[in-house]
Every structure is written in structure tokens, then in C-alpha cells.
Structure 1
Amino acid sequence: MIIGHYDHEIWAKGGMATYIRRISNAQREAGHRVHFFTRFPCNGLNLAEAPIVTPTELELFTQAEKLNVDVLHLHRSIAVPPPKYLPTLRTLHGHQPYCPSGSRFLERWHKPCDRAYSPVGCLWGHFIDRCGSIRPHNLVKNFQQTQQEQTVLSQIPVITVSHFLKEQMVRNGYPDDLIHVLHLFAPEGSNNDPPPQTEPPHFMFLGRIAPQKGVDWLLRSLQQVKQPVHLDIAGEGEQEAEMKALAEKLGVGDRVTFHGWVDTEKINQLICGARALIFPSLWHEPAGLVAFEAMANSRAVIASCVGGISSTVIQGVNGLLVTPNSVDELAASIECLATDWKLAMKLGAEGRSMASQQYTLTTHMEGLFCLYEMVIRRSDQ
């Protein structure tokens, strides 16, 4: 099979590039030929990853046809539908098809957005709830992109990375029969050791330090934790300086270490030293990648019950779920695992079992190829 992967900037740093790289490597190892297409020039890690620059959709479709691509796998939006003779599907990693800002987060109120898409409601959200930019150029661009998504994604098969995303798509008028759920996979070859029993127990936050990620809520909850604990924050973002100042203001500065951006080796080291990972998101996470990191490393997760997180974090099985913005619930969950090592170990072990049985790269690739074959059959009809 000849497979084409497309993104606007295919090797830009982030989770999308990591995902594309891992599945394309697996596809090549299985004997398939893979091509990469990008709207904007960028460089891969090696010559085999060199992408073909296609600034317009017409050039993308033309290049795919010239290379005899059997399936064009989109990872980002296109402005016009592909020709019917070109088998095409899209993996949806976010909310843009029904949320012009793509955030599903009401920054003014620090809570997730639960409204369905409507031009009037979403304009209200931008101006009153501060869910997105109100600069005229950005505002028009965001709404135009959602309209383009409605046109394209109502005509081609779509893969969502969680049941939550599919539910949102159907709720907003996309055809149910074109939407297929395929969960992401946990990292392979990770830690299988139980959490350390050293005191004080360490907890870890991994992600961007931004309003929708809930670091403010996490620090305020930490202030209420009576048990001696230490919080490691791995990541950077626009709120980093503000959160450092907040930690000092709350009197928990000596209980928090801000590590900034860290590489994979350091991330693994911090995870191995943690009792559990904390995932306090205040927006509707499409899938919840941090949960997969925790499960792969035999660590429990304390997570907010938003978006796709509850598809992978099951209360009392591999983690603890809390209500967004509830300081009391988050503080109680931290204290619970800080004082109950056996429970943290049990939740982490179950998470590891789930990762190795349900969320493997092999399972993901089997499902993906079934969808590829379905798309090819559909285009032949």
C-alpha cells in the first residue's frame, strides 16, 4: 500500500509530529511505502522523512495522484473536499470542526465550554466568555475554518481519538456513519516498576503552563494538602512566571519545582520518581495524552473529568477523577494517594495492564489499516 500523510507543518514539534512519525515507521516496517506532504516547508529527522511541499489543496491532490497514493491520511484541515477518486480520511485531534477557537475553554470563567456550535453563540463566547481571539482577522479566519471543516468533513471518513470527540461531532451535525473512534496508543518499552515509597511522595504535572491546563487550580489545591508532598511541574508556557509567583504567594514555593521544558529522558526520570501524575485540565481534552504516559509507566492518574479523559481514566481502576476547579476534591485525591501507597501502586499496575492490552501500537495499526481498506472500497463504489 502507498500511504500519504498530510499536515500543515508536518514535522513541527509536538504530539502530532510524534504520532505521525510513529505510525509511519510502523507502516514502513510492515512493507508499505509512505510519503509526507506539508503546506509549509519543514525538515524531518532524516532524508526518508523529507516532505513534499504542497501549498494548495490542488497541488496536494495532484502530487498524491502522481505518486499513486492508495490512501491520503489527513492530520489537519483542508479547505476543499478531495476528488472522489482519491481515497482520503482525516484523523481529528481537536475541536475545530465545531469550535471556531478550537479551545472549548471559557477563559473568563476558567471552565470548559459545553455549548454546541452556532455562529451567534460562538461570537458571544469570543467577546464575552473570552474563548478565542476577538481581533477581526483572527475572528473571521477561525469562523471560516469551521465552515470549511463542515463542508469537507461531512463528505469524507473521519477518525476521532476518543468517543467524546465523536459524540461532539454527531451533536454538531456531522454524519454518524462517517465517524470512527480509534484510540491513541501508549508509549512502548516504558517503566514497569511500582512507585517509590520515599518521603515526601512526589506528584507530577506534565504539560503546557497555560490557563486551560489548570496549574492555578493545582497550586491552590496543593495549599490545602496537609500531608507533606512535593510537586514537580515539567513544561513551559505563557503562565510560567505567573504560576511561580502564585506558588510563592500561596506559601507552597518550597513544595514545588518548576523544571521548565525537559527532554524525554528527564520526563521518564520524573515519572519514575512520582507517586502519581496529575492532569488538572480545565478544557475538554480531546484524548488526554498524559493519561497514556502515566499508564505506560505504571503510575496512577489524578485527572479532571473533562473531554476524552474519562475514556481512558476510570475512577478507582487506573486513577481518580475530580470535578474541574474543585479545590477540595483535588486536594483530597492528592492526600489519598500520598497516604495510601498500596492504592497508588494498584491503580498504576492496572493502568499498565490497560496500556499493554488495550492501548498498544499493534492494536492501533490493525484498526487503522481496516479503516484504510474501508476508505479504498468506498472510493471504488
Structure 2
Amino acid sequence: MRIAHYAPDLWAPGGIATYVDRLTNAQRSAGHDVLWLCHTPQGNAPLPPDAHVVTASTLYAEARAHGVDILHAHRDLPTPIPTALPLIRTMHGHQGGCPSGTRYLRRSGMPCNRTYHPVGCLRMHLQERCGSCRPHKMWRNIRRLQRERAQTHTVMTAAVSMYVQQMMVRAGCYVDNIVVCPSPAPIVKPFTMPPRNSPSVLYAGRIAPEKGLLWLLRAMADVDTSAALHIAGTGTDAHMQAVHDEVEALALTNRVHFHGWCDDEALTGLMNMAWLVVVPSVWNEPAGLVPLDAAAHGRFVIASSAGGLPEYVAPDASTLVPPNDTDALTRALRNALSDYDRLATCGAEAQHHAEVTFSATHTANAYERLYAQAMNPADAPLTS
């Protein structure tokens, strides 16, 4: 089968590119021919191998010219949707259930679990700044959600978590065309024990208010002073400055170490050094590659109980805490860091869970079945 994966920014480092890369490798191992379609890279970003530049207006023509059997989109599809080209869409975010795509109340600093309603959501744009409050941008967000909702009537959509699927259905998307297809985990062998005498915590991800790093810093201030926090990630200058200011205000300068953006090799080094990984999101994460990466490396995870994160942690090697509950996060950190032997035992269980439940091969097989449905609509009709 010749498969084309499409996202405008597949060249950008981050969650979707990592997801597609893992899926591509599994599909090629299964004997499929896979290529990537993306827009022109920004700045000096290199074009990934086997990637071809398209635009929104040339996407479908280029897919046909490359003779693809299935076009697998990881961002919104340009309209109008062609009827003769088999399509699959993976919904990685909240665009199908939230006008702003954030599900985050910026002023309150809390996740949003509202059911979509145009009037209510526009009011939240104004009150909570969950999205732009400029009239033309608010209207653009509403229109985008309406397009996403309409496309689910003709395009089979794979949601990355049950949470995302439920929010889409609540927003009026076509339930019969939405399935849940979990993200793939990396394969990491062998299991490596963290250094016993150097307790450390790892945060990996973007540095932005909704990611909860400031919340984690406040909890770390009340944890055993021998435990260090390693931060792998970057953000805007303003967000980075806010984090550095908080580190200084909490007198954590000697315990917090910034590593910037890390490639796979550098991140593996930090994972192997860490006793546990914390995912302190205060927004509704659609899913979570970081918990999968942590589990694959055999690391215990502490995560907020928001969005799709509870679906992605290893049940016997994790602790979930309510978003922004500093006391609960502090207790979870203290409990985990106080028992090295338990962390090591749980780490082996976490690695097994990632390998069995979230293998890239499993994800590729699930998509192969969806591709077959999209390519044979007469046998498996997509619309009612």
C-alpha cells in the first residue's frame, strides 16, 4: 500500500512529527510504501527524508500524482473534500470539539470541560481569553469547528484518546465515523535502573502556562532538598523568563537544571537519569507522548488527571493528581521519591505496559483496518 501522511508542519520538531515518524517506521516495516506531504519549511528547517512540498490548493492533486492509495491527514483538510481520493484524518487536538482548540481557561489557569455552544464559547473567549477576543478571529474559530464537524460525516476520523472522541461527539461530530486509535510508544531496550543516590525529577515538553511547570516548581519547593528537577524544553522568551523568575523566588536555583530542547538521544539520557517523570498539565491534554516515552524508558509517571492523560499512563506505575492542586502534587512527589525500590519495580511494569498496549505495530495495524474501510466505502459505508 502507498500511504501519504500530510500535515503542513511535518518538518517541525514536536508531537505530531514524532507520532508520524513512529507510525511511518512501523508501516514500512510491514512492507508499505510511505511518503510525507507538507508545506514549505519555515526558516532553515530541513525537509524530512521522503517529504514532498505541497500547498493547501495542490495537496489532493499531488497525492494523486504520487499514486497514493490513502491520504492520511494529521491537520485539518483543505476544502472541498474530494470524493474519489481515500482519506483518513487523525485528530491530535481539540479542533473538533473546541473553537479555540485549547480547552484551557487562560485567566483561571484551569482546564475547560464545557460542551461546545457558540454563545457560551464566545463568552468564554471574552471572559477567560481561551481564544482571541477579536471578533473576526472568534468567528474564524467557530467556522473552523463547523468545518471539522462537517468533515466527520465524510472522512473517517481517528481520535487519539477517548476523551477527544467524547468531546467531539458532544460538539456534534458524527459519532459513527470517529474511532479511538492510541498514539504509538517508542521501543526502548533494555530497562535501565536510575542512579540510586541521585534522586531527580524530569519535566519534558513545551514551556507554556497550560503545561503547568510553575505548578510543578511550587510543589518541588516543598520536596526533599536532595531531589533535583531537570527541564527539557523551550518556550517563548516571556514564558522562559517567568519560569526563571519563579525558580529564583522559590530558592530553587541550585536544584533546577535547564537543558533546552532535546533530541531523542539527549532525552533518553535524561530519562535514564530520572527517577520519575512529571506531566503537570493544567489544560486538557488530548493525549500524551511524554507519558508513553517515560513508560517506554521504564520510568514512573506523575501526571495531572486532565484530558486524555489518564488513558496514557501505566496503571501500576503512575499517580494522577488534580490540576493545580499543589498539596496533592507535593504528596505524590514525596511518596514516589521516598521509595527507590518501588520506582524500579514499577519502571519494569511501565515498560512492559508501553510495549504491549501502545506499540507502534499495534497502531499501524489499527490504521491498516481503517485504510481498508476508507478505500472500500461500498463495503464499509462512512455515512448514514
TM-score range, shorter chain: over 0.9
Partner of 1:212: 210
1:85 aligns with 2:88: no
SS of the counterpart of 1:91? strand
Q: CA deviation at 1:359?
A: 1.2
Q: CA deviation at 1:68?
A: 3.4
Partner of 1:221: 219
With 8-17 and 283-292 compared, the bigger mean Cα shift is at: 8-17
What are the equivalent positions in structure 2 for 1:42-57 lying under 5 Å apart?
A: 43-46=46-49, 49-56=50-57
Partner of 1:323: 322
Q: Which amino acid aligns with 2:254?
A: D
Cα distance in 2 for partners of 1:209, 1:225 equals 22
SS of the counterpart of 2:24? helix
Q: Which amino acid aligns with 2:151?
A: V
Q: Which amino acid aligns with 1:26?
A: A
Name the CA shift for 1:117/1:190 in 2 (closer, same or farther; >3 Å).
Answer: farther
TM-score of the two chains, using structure 2 as the length reference:
0.92
Cα distance in 1 for partners of 2:224, 2:65 equals 65
Q: What do the CA deviations read for 1:76-131 (whole angstroms, capped 9, x no partner)?
A: 10242523322111011000112121111111011101111111111111111111
CA contact under 8 A between 2:200 and 2:273: conserved in structure 1?
A: yes
Partner of 1:258: 258
What are the equivalent positions in structure 2 for 1:232-271 lying under 5 Å apart?
A: 232-238=230-236, 239-271=239-271
Q: How many residues align?
A: 375
CA contact under 8 A between 2:22 and 2:186: conserved in structure 1?
A: no
Q: CA deviation at 1:252?
A: 2.0
CA contact under 8 A between 1:295 and 1:352: conserved in structure 2?
A: yes
Partner of 2:201: 203
CA contact under 8 A between 2:96 and 2:173: conserved in structure 1?
A: no
Taking only aligned residues, the RMSD between alpha carbons, in angstroms, comes to 1.9
Cα distance in 2 for partners of 1:287, 1:143 equals 23
- What residue ranges of structure 1 are gaps of 5+ in the alignment? none
Q: Which amino acid aligns with 2:241?
A: A
CA contact under 8 A between 1:117 and 1:172: conserved in structure 2?
A: yes
What are the equivalent positions in structure 2 for 1:69-218 lying under 5 Å apart?
A: 69-190=68-189, 192-199=191-198, 201-218=199-216
Q: Which amino acid aligns with 2:352?
A: S
TM-score of the two chains, using structure 1 as the length reference:
0.93
Q: What do the CA deviations read for 1:42-79 (whole angstroms, capped 9, x no partner)?
A: 75233xx13141331xx322333344322111111024
Q: Which amino acid aligns with 2:209?
A: P
Cα distance in 1 for partners of 2:352, 2:31 equals 29
Q: CA deviation at 1:190?
A: 4.5
CA contact under 8 A between 2:282 and 2:323: conserved in structure 1?
A: yes
Cα distance in 1 for partners of 2:169, 2:182 equals 18
Cα distance in 2 for partners of 1:116, 1:245 equals 36
Cα distance in 1 for partners of 2:354, 2:272 equals 16
With 281-290 and 13-22 compared, the bigger mean Cα shift is at: 13-22
Name the CA shift for 1:275/1:246 in 2 (closer, same or farther; >3 Å).
Answer: same
SS of the counterpart of 1:97? coil
Q: CA deviation at 1:39?
A: 4.2
Cα distance in 2 for partners of 1:268, 1:39 equals 30
CA contact under 8 A between 1:164 and 1:308: conserved in structure 2?
A: yes
Q: What do the CA deviations read for 1:166-191 (whole angstroms, capped 9, x no partner)?
A: 11111222222211111111111345
Cα distance in 2 for partners of 1:26, 1:81 equals 31
Q: CA deviation at 1:350?
A: 1.2
CA contact under 8 A between 2:292 and 2:313: conserved in structure 1?
A: no
Name the CA shift for 1:369/1:194 in 2 (closer, same or farther; >3 Å).
Answer: same
Cα distance in 1 for partners of 2:202, 2:292 equals 14
1:347 aligns with 2:350: no
Q: Which amino acid aligns with 1:140?
A: W
Cα distance in 2 for partners of 1:30, 1:105 equals 39
Q: Which amino acid aligns with 1:263?
A: D
CA contact under 8 A between 2:202 and 2:231: conserved in structure 1?
A: yes
Name the CA shift for 1:36/1:226 in 2 (closer, same or farther; >3 Å).
Answer: closer
Q: What do the CA deviations read for 1:212-269 (whole angstroms, capped 9, x no partner)?
A: 0001111111122246311111111131111111111112222211222223222111
CA contact under 8 A between 2:200 and 2:227: conserved in structure 1?
A: yes
CA contact under 8 A between 2:160 and 2:183: conserved in structure 1?
A: yes
- What residue ranges of structure 2 are gaps of 5+ in the alignment? none
Name the CA shift for 1:146/1:322 in 2 (closer, same or farther; >3 Å).
Answer: same
